[in-house]
Amino acid sequence: MITPLIIIKNLDFVMRGGIIECMMTIKIIDVYDTDDLKMFLDNCGVSLQTFSYFDKRSFDVLNDHVLTLLIFDNDKPVGYGHLDKEGDVIWLGICVSEQSLNKGYGGIIMRELLSYADDNNLDIQLSVMKNNIVAYNLYKKFDFKQFKEDSDNVFLKRPCSV
Ligand SMILES: CC(C)(COP(=O)(O)OP(=O)(O)OC[C@H]1O[C@@H](n2cnc3c(N)ncnc32)[C@H](O)[C@@H]1OP(=O)(O)O)[C@@H](O)C(=O)NCCC(=O)NCCS
Q: What is the pLDDT along the chain (162 residues), one digit of tens a residue?
A: 444 344 455 444 444 454 455 689 999 999 998 999 999 999 999 999 999 999 999 999 999 999 999 999 999 999 999 999 999 999 999 999 999 999 999 999 999 999 999 999 999 999 999 999 999 999 999 999 999 999 999 999 998 876
Dihedral sign from CA coordinates of 63, 36, 70, 146: positive
Nearest ligand 1 atom to alpha carbon 50: 44
Residue 21: per-residue pLDDT: 57
Rounded to whole angstroms, the Cα distance separating 40 from 49 reads 14
Residue 110: per-residue pLDDT: 97
94 lines ligand 1 (CB under 6 A): yes
Q: For 115, which DSSP code?
A: H
SS3 at position 93: strand
Instruction: Assign a CATH topology to domain 8-122.
Output: Aminopeptidase (3.40.630)
- No. of H helices and E strands in the chain? 3, 8
Nearest ligand 1 atom to alpha carbon 101: 8
Return the H-helix or E-strand segment holding 12: strand 9-14
144 lines ligand 1 (CB under 6 A): no
Rounded to whole angstroms, the Cα distance separating 132 from 113 reads 20
Residue 9: per-residue pLDDT: 54
96 lines ligand 1 (CB under 6 A): yes
- The alpha carbon of 1 and the centre of ligand 1 are apart by a number of angstroms equal to 32
Tallying the residues shown for the chain, one arrives at: 162
- The alpha carbon of 56 and the centre of ligand 1 are apart by a number of angstroms equal to 24
Choose the residue to mutate in 48, 55, 101, 134 for probing ligand 1, maximizing ligand atoms within 8 Å of C-beta. 134
Choose the residue to mutate in 73, 138, 157 for probing ligand 1, maximizing ligand atoms within 8 Å of C-beta. 138
Write down the domain spans for the chain. Answer: 8-122
pTM here?
A: 0.90
Residue 33: per-residue pLDDT: 86
